[in-house]
Amino acid sequence: MDLYEHQARQLFEEHGIPVPRAEVTDSPRQARAIARGLGGRVVVKAQVRTGGRGKAGGVRLAEDPAAAERTARQILGMDIKGHPVRAVMLAQPVDIESEFYVSYVLDRSAGRFLAIASAEGGTEIEEVAATRPELVTRIPVDPAEGVTSAKATEIVREAGLPPRAADVLIRLWQVLTREDALLVEVNPLVRTTQGQIVALDGKVTLDDNARFRQARWGEQGATQTDRLEAAAAAKGLNYVKLDGEVGVIGNGAGLVMSTLDVVAGCGARPANFLDIGGGASARIMSDGLSVVLSDPDVRSVLVNVFGGITACDAVADGIVRALDTVRPTKPLVVRLDGNNAARGRAVLGERAHPLVHQATTMDEAARLAARLADTT
């Protein structure tokens, strides 16, 4: 459950982390009034649950209330990486001397949390970690011990942060533990020209399992951050967006995971994880295919089904139904095996759609899907 920046900022403020004065609105006219109340000169920031807002034009400086209204009108309604901007936050600008990065994230493999900090804030930490990994400090945090004054001092010293940042690190840990968070991040954490330590931007991801304790965020806070994941969830599908070009659909999490590995082994990248379940109907198959085909990153789709509870002819019926409604422009590779597989293959053969290719084995299907993605 990802929070918007203004919601993360609210948590920071509640736990004593300094933040600039700010207000949120969905009205350009109200933006003018807010700017006037904040002193006139403000930063107008799109409120969407994705990074890269600045590069997309979603973060701009307005010199006066009239400019704030114009800027809010320009930003509201923008689409940033598939996320429509429905609200903006207006914040007082600060005079920045230095920028830093700090976060706590759950390290599932190690069964503990990880403090990540860098004196190079204000940029994408992934880029810094990839090009200059020596500038990113990673320090394990024992959940039972937490971030004490000594641990905060260690993080500050190792990362080259100003000593006064230690208090923010302690309070940021309180946000993590008291608010059921899996990730808390401040980028940038800044030192102003007056020597203050201020959190300018924040990201907080709450644990879905603790949603019953986080009711104040309502359904708005629980909405999926990805457009396709939200569409899939509305259809009751188990879908996760990935950074690839081959869409993957299968029945059963184990089969889907194996398919992802085989696709990767063929030199391609999976675009998603989509499990239609052990008893998927033709309607579910049709819904899943329409979600995957609506992903602009997908260049080919691999449907890998082993018929058990799910009969392959029902899957084939779903594919045919989707072909009649979605009108795909991307090739589909279908591998059916198991219960009623021959009948399912016959259904697809009778439809004879020019974009549908059949394969008899998973390896053959993955190779074909990878090749089609490379040439599409």
Give the tens place of pLDDT for each residue, 265-301.
Answer: 999 999 999 988 765 566 787 888 889 988 989 999 9
| Position 219 confidence tier, pLDDT thresholds 50, 70, 90 | low
CA-to-CA distance for 346 and 152, rounded, in angstroms?
A: 65
> 239 is written with which tokens?
């879908």
- Asked if 289 contacts 301 with a C-beta cutoff of 8 angstroms, the reply is yes
CA-to-CA distance for 374 and 361, rounded, in angstroms?
A: 20
The per-residue pLDDT for range 49-81, each reduced to its tens digit, is 887 888 889 999 999 999 999 999 999 999 887
Residue of 4, 185, 239, 245 marked catalytic = 185
Residue 221: per-residue pLDDT: 46
Q: Is there a catalytic annotation at residue 101?
A: yes
Q: Reply yes or no on whether the pLDDT at 129 is more than 90.
A: no
- Asked if 17 contacts 64 with a C-beta cutoff of 8 angstroms, the reply is no
Q: How many angstroms separate the Cα of 195 from the Cα of each of 96, 100, 107, 166?
A: 9, 14, 33, 14
Percent helix, strand and coil across the chain, each to the nearest 5: 40, 25, 35
Cis peptide before 188 (omega within 30 of 0): yes
Q: What is the dihedral of CA 109, 110, 111, 112, to 10 degrees?
A: -130
What pairs with residue 204 in β-bridges? 184
CA-to-CA distance for 222 and 214, rounded, in angstroms?
A: 10
> 191 is written with which tokens?
């030192």
Residue of 101, 179, 239, 245 marked catalytic = 101
